[in-house]
Every structure is written in C-alpha cells, then in structure tokens.
Amino acid sequence: MRVLTLISVVVISSCRNHKDKEIIDFIKVSDQTYLSVTEVASNLDVPWDMQYSPSTNSIFFTQIKGKVAELNLETNSIKVIYEVPNVYHQRTLGLLGLAIHPNFAINPYLYICYTTKEQDSVFSELRRLELKNGQVIASKLLLKIDGGTGHNGSRLAFDNSHKLYWATGDIHSLTHAQDSTTLNGKILRMNDDGGIPHDNPIRGSYVYAWGFRNMQGMTFTANGNLLTSEHGDAIEDEINWIRPLSNYGWIDIEGYHDTPKELAIASKSLRTEPIKAWTPVIAPAALKYYSFTQIPEWNNRLLLGTLKDQSLRILKLNVNQNQIIEEDIFLKDKYGRIRAITVDKKGNVYIATSNRDWKPQTDFPLKTDDRILKLSRIEYTPRNFLSKEKISNGQKMDAKALYQSYCASCHKADGNGTPGSFPSLLKSSAMKDSKKLIHIVLNGLKTTEGDDTQVYDLPMPSFSFLKDEEVASIVNYIRTRLINSTQTIDANMVGDIRNQE
Ligand code: HEC
C-alpha cells in the first residue's frame, strides 16, 4: 500500500511537469545535439513578427489582423497589449513588423508597422508604442508612406547605435524600387523618434539603400552587418547584405547578375548582388542571427523561416558574417509555413507558424494553428527524432514536381486555386487552348487579360526561365492530371511560341 502511494505521487508530479510543456517532437542537429520541440502558444491568427525582450523575459508579437501581444515565458500566458485601431487587413496586408527599443528598460518603446486605408488609398504606417507596467500608455505615428494591394514588406530592426531600419516593399510599382527619392522598395534609416539622422548617406532623406521588391526578414549579425531576406517574383529569392547607398537591382535585375541583359545593366550602373539566391523559390521570411552556445552547430548562423518551402533553414556564415557558405534544412513540411523567429537570452529558439494566412498549403492549417513552438537543447538521446533534409542538387524534376514547385503555391495541388486571389485552373478556358496556355506560362498574366470575370489584384509572374521541355511537361501534367484531358504538346511547340513572341 505504501509503495503504491509513492508511485502515484511520482506519476502525478511528472505529469504536472510535462503539462505546460509537452514535447511534441525531437530534432537531431548532430550526434551530440538534440532538441525538443514544445508548444508555448496555440490558436493564434498569423503571428507576423515576434521579438524577445530580455528585460521582461517575454516575447512581444504581432498578429496580422491588428493585435500586439506579450507572451510571458515564465507562465506561457498571453496578454493583448494593443489593437491597432485603423489596420487594413487583406491577404498580405495588415499588422506586420515589430521591433523593441534596444534600451527597453529606459526607453520602453515598441515599434510596429501596418497597412491602413483611407478612401481608395492604401498606406503603411510606422508607430511607436510606449509601455508602462505592461500596458500601452501612449502611441505616436513616426512615419507614413504609400502602400499597395501587395508588397508592403515589411520588417523593422535596430542597430547598436539605436538607429531604426524599416525594410519597405515596392507596392507592386514598376518605378519605386529604382527611384532613390521615394520611400518604397527601400531600406529606410531613422532615429528612435522617427527623425532623419544627420549621418544618413543621403542628406535629409530616410533612404539608406534601394532596389528591393518585398523584404520579409531582417536581422543584424554580431559584427553589425544588416542582412535581409526578400521574395523574388517567380525566381530568385534572395538574402542581401545591406550597405548604404547600394542598389540591389530590382526591378531590372533578379538575383545574381547572370543573364546577358543583367550583366549589361550592372556594367553601366553599380548594382549589388545578393549573397544567396534560390530558384525554385522558397519564400524566405523570418531571418534571425544566432550566436549562442546552447546549439553550437547553429552558432554564427542565420535562422531562416520559409513560407512556401515550409522549413527552417540554417545558413552558415563566414567569419566576416557577409557570405553564406553552407545551408541545412530542418522541419520541411512539418509545421507548415514559418514566418517569425526569435531567440531568448539562453539561446532557445522560438518559431511561429503562419498557416492561417492567405496561402495555407496542403494539410494545413492544423486545428491548433497558428502556434509558437520552442526549440531547446536536451541532454539525452531520444529514440525518434526529425533529421535535416538532404539537399537535392540539380536533380531533374518530374512533371508533378515541376507543378508543385512552380504553380501549386498559388493554384494549389488540385488546381482549384484560392477564390479571390488565384483562379482555378480547372475552370480556365486556357486549359483547352494550347497556344494560350503556353503564352500564359511564358509571359505571366495581368488582370483583365484572363477570361475569368473575376479581377485579380496580383499578376501571375512569367515562367519564361523554364526550359521548353519543362513548360511542356507542366502543361501536359495540368491537362492530363487536373482535367482528364488527352490533349498533349511537345517541347517544340513551346519553342515555336517562344520564338514568335
Ligand atoms: C504567384 C502566384 C502564381 C503562380 C506561382 C502561378 N500562377 Fe497562374 N495565375 C496567377 C494569377 C494571380 C492569375 C490570374 C491573373 C489575372 O487574370 O490577372 C493566374 C492565371 C493563370 C491562368 C489563367 C486562368 C484564367 O483566368 O483563365 C493559367 C492557365 C495559369 N495561371 C497557369 C499557371 C501555371 C501552369 C503555373 C505554373 C507554371 C502558374 N500559373 C503559376 C498566379 C500564379
């Protein structure tokens, strides 16, 4: 009887220990290092940015529909501290980036940026919130710039001298990114009160660097290098090392300078190449520099959360922290889209899923999405664990893989698309018209050219970089597999249409 009582006490106490932090997975980083994954928050609605605050041992985070919240890491409780009154949420628009003043104990400020709409005009606002005892007691609009129906960026980050950087999107404009006098498609630099610093590279201007499309991640390395992640169009997602007065190429140049046209442009006017580019695209988002001994294999790495690729990528930097020399992929398709990452003072990593956003992928959202998950090192070897992916280099993709890679993120694996955002391929008349279909794939499509009566805010990108046989493969796949057609084409037909255009 006495023995039994003892056992039951042990069981109850171990249950309690596991209750608030039940381990949902293990990750093998190396033979020496294993991590546990625990859920610290669930049922969130697109946590967009999150930043760890050492002085409060909490995480401040935004959710796209307008809530700013604080996650207390001692209790795992969440408190909403502010709701942006005039946020305009649509697809990728809403409450986005967040930064914490580097000297929060003395200057208890949070900085947020979000989309607003007045009559028919869209804007992006940057606002500073002042906190006292965990409550917002005042707020100040620091800067308001033009917004758009997509590509509003944006991330915020502070450097060591308390200058605030705002990575803004090109708002789908053909001219902003290359125009150093406007504030879109830029890295903007300002004082912590929103003023223009005297030492900015262009006197009297916020503009620090330009030539950007839509940056979705930004971080400083230990030695002060500013790095961003950026979404390419249909190709060439990028990581850039940001330097003052540099032009990063968009809209004339995508990714590395590797086509004759791009090389010609770069030879005439100075353009800066990314330090990393990905084709097929992965939709890189959260970017966080990691410098801790807890996970030694990730020390001096960038932690990159991806949306389309649904993975956590670990990018090894050189000693100067301005080149990427190795890449590892973890959690591929495991928790869905990863949009936000932060690290606490002990080196525990927190990732936030974004499966309730405008582009949920197959099998998501899960019932408890969106979630914040904590990755911490454990001192034992678990029996089952997740491992890193093997990176397949230059392998030839079959038709299904091509469709998955280049089309499914918008039109979905089954071709049904997303109402209002991406048309269903099953209903498109182009599916029966080979010429039209090839033309669309090679050139992309802008609203009103499609036969759909629906008007789409965003254009379809061009896929002219695909080889003729790849285009033929995709066209045949969507016809035979999505609409049971027997009509097929060959690569020559694609070549002929390409040459005629
Ligand atoms: C980034 C999102 C995106 C990707 C990736 C994409 N599309 Fe599209 N697609 C669109 C949008 C948006 C439209 C509607 C454009 C419009 O009409 O303004 C569209 C339209 C189309 C249409 C015409 C539908 C109609 O209205 O009749 C076809 C066909 C099509 N896409 C095929 C493809 C194929 C094949 C691929 C892969 C090679 C692909 N798309 C990749 C976004 C995308």
Residue 302 and residue 225 share a domain: yes
Decide if 17 is inside a domain. Answer: no
**Of 301, 208, 303, 198, which is closest to residue 247 (Cα–Cα)?**
208
The CA 391 to ligand 1 mean position distance, Å, reads: 28
Of 378, 411, 435, at which residue does a domain stop? 378
Decide if 383 is inside a domain. Answer: no
108-117, 137-146, 403-412: least confidently modelled range? 403-412
The CA 435 to ligand 1 mean position distance, Å, reads: 15
The CA 407 to ligand 1 mean position distance, Å, reads: 8
What's residue 394's pLDDT?
A: 61
pLDDT 10s digits, 157-215: 999 999 999 999 999 999 999 999 999 999 999 999 999 999 999 999 999 999 999 99
**Of 215, 230, 233, 121, which is closest to residue 459 (Cα–Cα)?**
233
**How far, in Å, CA of 71 to CA of 348, rounded?**
15
DSSP label of 344:
-
The CA 423 to ligand 1 mean position distance, Å, reads: 7
What's residue 393's pLDDT?
A: 63
175 vs 8, which has greater pLDDT? Answer: 175
* Segment of 386-395, 428-437, 454-463 carrying the highest mean pLDDT: 428-437
Residue 433 and residue 325 share a domain: no
Decide if 12 is inside a domain. Answer: no
Q: Where are the beta strands (DSSP E) in 231-371?
A: 237-242, 276-278, 284-290, 301-306, 312-317, 324-330, 338-343, 349-353
Decide if 15 is inside a domain. Answer: no
Collapsed DSSP state (helix, strand, coil) of residue 17: helix
Residue 405 and residue 371 share a domain: no
Per-position b or e across 41-63, b if 16+ CB within 10 A of its CB: beebbbbbbbbbbeebebbbbbb
pLDDT 10s digits, 332-374: 999 999 999 999 999 999 999 999 999 888 899 999 999 999 9
Q: Which atom of ligand 1 is nearest to the CA of 436?
A: 29
**pTM of the entire structure?**
0.86
Q: Average of pLDDT values for 448-455?
A: 58
User: What does the block give as tokens for 103?
Assistant: 């000297």
Give φ, ψ of 195 to 5 degrees.
Answer: -75, 165
Residue 211 and residue 88 share a domain: yes
Residue 462 and residue 331 share a domain: no
The residue nearest atom 42 of ligand 1, judged by CA position, is 460
The DSSP secondary structure of 159-225, one letter per residue, reads -TTS-EEEE---TT-SSGGG-TTSSSSEEEEE-TTSPPPTT-SSTT--EEEE--S-EEEEEE-TT--
Q: Which atom of ligand 1 is nearest to the CA of 446?
A: 18
**Of 298, 301, 163, 278, which is closest to residue 229 (Cα–Cα)?**
278
- Judge contact between 140 and 173, C-beta under 8 A: no
Q: What is the 3-state secondary structure (H, E, C) of 420-469?
A: CCECCCCCCHHHHCHHHHHHHHHHCECCCCCCCCCCCCCCECCCCCCCHH
What's residue 458's pLDDT?
A: 79
Q: Sorting pLDDT into bands at 50, 70 and 90, what band is 453?
A: low
Residue 169 and residue 70 share a domain: yes
The CA 152 to ligand 1 mean position distance, Å, reads: 21
**How far, in Å, CA of 433 to CA of 429, rounded?**
7
Residue 317 and residue 239 share a domain: yes
What's residue 10's pLDDT?
A: 40
Q: How many CB atoms lie within 10 A of CB 480?
A: 14
Decide if 412 is inside a domain. Answer: yes
Residue 424 and residue 469 share a domain: yes
Q: Which atom of ligand 1 is nearest to the CA of 407?
A: 37
pLDDT of 19 over the 90 cut: no
Decide if 5 is inside a domain. Answer: no
Q: Note down the domain range covering 123.
A: 23-378
User: What domain count does the chain have?
Assistant: 2
Mean pLDDT of the chain: 92
Q: Which atom of ligand 1 is nearest to the CA of 409?
A: 5
Give φ, ψ of 304 to 5 degrees.
Answer: -120, 120
Residue 367 and residue 474 share a domain: no
User: What does the block give as tokens for 198?
Assistant: 């005297």
CATH number of the domain residue 477 falls in = 1.10.760.10
The CA 428 to ligand 1 mean position distance, Å, reads: 10
In the chain, the percentage of residues whose pLDDT exceeds 90 is 83
CA 146 vs. chain centroid, Å, equals 21
What's residue 59's pLDDT?
A: 98
Residue 348 and residue 440 share a domain: no
Question: For a pocket test of ligand 1, which of 172, 411, 416, 467 has the largest count of ligand atoms closer than 8 A to its C-beta?
Answer: 411
Residue 240 and residue 370 share a domain: yes
79 vs 459, which has greater pLDDT? Answer: 79
Question: For a pocket test of ligand 1, which of 233, 308, 410 has the largest count of ligand atoms closer than 8 A to its C-beta?
Answer: 410
Residue 184 and residue 95 share a domain: yes
The CA 459 to ligand 1 mean position distance, Å, reads: 8
Decide if 7 is inside a domain. Answer: no
Ligand 1 proximal residues by C-beta, below 6 Å: 406-407, 409-411, 422-423, 425, 428-430, 437, 440-441, 445-447, 450-452, 456, 458-461, 463, 474, 478
**How far, in Å, CA of 272 to CA of 256, rounded?**
9
What's residue 392's pLDDT?
A: 65
Q: Average of pLDDT values for 253-280?
A: 93
Q: Sorting pLDDT into bands at 50, 70 and 90, what band is 234?
A: confident
Decide if 284 is inside a domain. Answer: yes
**Of 118, 209, 199, which is closest to residue 168 (Cα–Cα)?**
209
Q: Sorting pLDDT into bands at 50, 70 and 90, what band is 302?
A: very high
19-33, 49-63, 107-121, 463-477: least confidently modelled range? 19-33
**Of 443, 432, 442, 447, which is closest to residue 479 (Cα–Cα)?**
432
- Judge contact between 29 and 295, C-beta under 8 A: yes
pLDDT of 2 over the 80 cut: no
Q: Average of pLDDT values for 232-245?
A: 95
Q: Sorting pLDDT into bands at 50, 70 and 90, what band is 35?
A: very high
CATH number of the domain residue 361 falls in = 2.120.10.30
**How far, in Å, CA of 454 to CA of 451, rounded?**
8
